[in-house]
A = this chain, B = another copy of it.
Amino acid sequence: MNLHPDYLLNEVEEPADIKGMSLDQLHELADEMRQLILERDEKIGGHVGPNLGIVETTLAYHYVFDSPHDKVIWDVSHQSYPHKMFTGRAQGFLDPDHYEDVSGFTSPEESDHDFFQVGHTSTSIALAVGMAESRDLKHKHENVVAIIGDGSLSGGLAFEGLNNASKLHSNLIIVVNDNNMSIDDHNQGGLYQGLKELRETAGQSANNIFKFMGLDYRYVPDGNDLSAMIKVFEDVKDIDHPIVLHVHTLKGAGYQPAIDNEMAYHWRGPFNGQTGESTTPQPKESYSEAVIDELLSEIKDGTNIAAINAGIPGMFDLKRFEKAYPERYFDVGIAEQMSVTSAVAMAQNGVRPVVFESSTFLQRAYDQLIHDVALNDAPVVMIVRGGTISSESATHQGTFDISYISSLPNIEYLAPTSVEEMISMLKWAISQTDTPVVIRQPERKLLHRPATQTDYSIIDYEIAHQGSEVAIFAVGDFWQLGEDVRQELQKKLNIDATLINPKTVTNIDQQDLHHLQEDHDIVVTLEDGNLSGGFGETIDRYYSASEMKVLNFGAPREFSDNVPYDVLAEWYHLTPELIVDDIEKVVHQI
């Protein structure tokens, strides 16, 4: 049910509908939009500060420009809620029953006013340059506008985009939405010193990266001043060359808790608007916590450890590490390539770097994994999260990691099944300097199981249960699923299956695989990720010329978008019952 049938926003179906409004009405709209952002985020979670801060820019954009003829490209696009409210998707914010109909990112499937599905940072300038170049090849003249936050500017692709933007001899407007990342509690790098100097001199400082790059430049001191934003957009509309509008906005504008605590309110799960507290229960113990505990303990014991991440400390409990050892903590900003390559140098120079990555973002450092880590066989230690099959949006689907890491030479990609095993693997990874080690941090229910080895330089499969006929390889996070399948096989088919923890998705235990053939006809692989190029295929290849029948379970080569895991598990045959049904068919063939 629409909670606000009285809102002015109900009259806005297309951006054109705001063009006749008075400034007072636009301000009223701004207030409504802020309320709706908060209501939706409180209920289902989402990006808070970025959307609150961009309200006036969005209003001014749609007041001045003609969307979708003129084209706006939102970097990372998690600040596109206000844009969505004006472009046919207001019900996704007015009516809780429709909250889930509208994604948190731009989506061409939702609206003609969205041009790309985007969830990673730093792409908007490159996209806008491509839009402008193709517009010119079509002899058209619409405006192309990229809106990029200061946080996204640290990613190398943003710089590559700026470098190429200045080649254009035609319209391109790059809005740098600067909401003071540099006043965050730690120094994010030189770029942010430069931006700060520009803000403090109202854009007058001679040190100007944009002008250096040959781009026109204009500073807007208050991007939350609607009239000022309208004025500046009117000034630059139809400009015949590229220009950077450096717009200073307030992240979280209009909601004090989000202003006071911008990190916590950048993205939030559902929360209580009165108390500010999370309404989703937090698990008592976590893998991240155990990892940080281990690192702190190792440092106390004299190991020279550095912890590196690319702008995602909250994902790994790293603020606690930073507090304990600020000189050992390196947040390189949104710059995954940098996080990996600098770690290689540390590893080669006698320090033990532990790099924390999200699978979906680590994709941006793929060449650094190959050319820097693997080629140099540099003993970097890396923790990767988010590779599992999940209800995540397609933009952040991280399920390609087993494929893109395990296919590389020299790197050992370990997949622990429990917190004890994870810490055991981490201890070993740090203690040795022979090989790069990546550890896949589990995401599902935290399990306690003892580790069965301490030195992982040669992998010895854990045969957790010795049976016959069917052998189940349960990789990492899917350990519990493997145990469930084993029980279901016993129950339904009276098969006493062997259950194996392979520990790694790269190197295989050839001896164990060979011996399995003596009393097993079927091998089942369960991996919490994409099948294409995954662990299962490695086992398929091992047995490809043998009598062994192999069944692989995991995700197919596709993007899933905000689909609940239970539904995916049905689609992909990842429930114990469906897996046993599939096994049964093969049992009957033998």
Q: Which residues of A contact B (CB under 8 A)?
A: 73, 108, 115-120, 123, 126-131, 133-138, 154-167, 187, 189-191, 193-194, 197, 206-209, 211-215, 304, 306, 327-328, 330, 332-333, 335, 337-338, 341-346, 348-351, 353, 360-361, 363-364, 366-368, 370-372, 374-376, 394-395, 400, 403-404, 406-410, 522, 530-533, 536-538, 540-541, 543-546, 549-552, 557-559, 586, 589
Q: Which residues of chain B have C-beta atoms less than 8 A from A374's C-beta?
A: 559
Q: Shortest Cβ distance from A313 into chain B, in angstroms?
A: 15
Q: Which of B131, B157, B363, B558 contacts A409 (CB 8 A)?
A: B558
- B residues within 8 A CB of A208? 207, 212
Task: Check A532 against B126 for contact (C-beta < 8 Å).
Answer: no
- Given A160-B335, A375-B395, A395-B375, is A130 in contact with B212 using a C-beta cutoff of 8 Å? no
- Are B161 and A190 touching (Cβ within 8 A)? no
- A348–B549 CB distance below 8 A: no
A305 to chain B, nearest CB (A): 9
Minimum CB distance partner of A116 in chain B: B376
- A208-B212, A394-B375, A551-B545 known; A533+B341 contact, CB < 8 A: no
Q: List 14 A-B contacts (CB under 8 A).
A: A116-B344, A116-B376, A126-B338, A130-B342, A130-B343, A133-B342, A133-B345, A134-B351, A138-B351, A157-B341, A164-B189, A164-B342, A410-B559, A545-B586
Beta-carbon contact of B557 and A137 below 8 Å: no
Q: A375 → chain B, closest Cβ, in Å?
A: 5
> How far is it, in angstroms, between the C-alpha of A138 and the C-alpha of B130 when the chains are bound?
46
B117 touches A337 (CB 8 A): no
9 more A-B contacts (CB under 8 A) besides A194-B212, A409-B557?
A131-B345, A134-B306, A156-B156, A163-B335, A190-B215, A209-B213, A364-B366, A400-B408, A544-B549
Q: What is the chain B residue whose CB lies nearest that of A403?
A: B407
CB distance from A501 to the nearest CB of B (A): 21
- The answer to whether B164 and A193 have CB atoms under 8 Å apart is no
A540 B532 Cβ-Cβ under 8 A: no
Residues of B within 8 A of A550 (CB): 544-545
Q: Per a CB cutoff under 8 Å, which of B130, B161, B349 touches A346?
A: B130
Chain B residues contacting A333 (CB-CB under 8 Å) are 160, 163-164
Contacts of A154 in B (CB 8 A): 160, 163
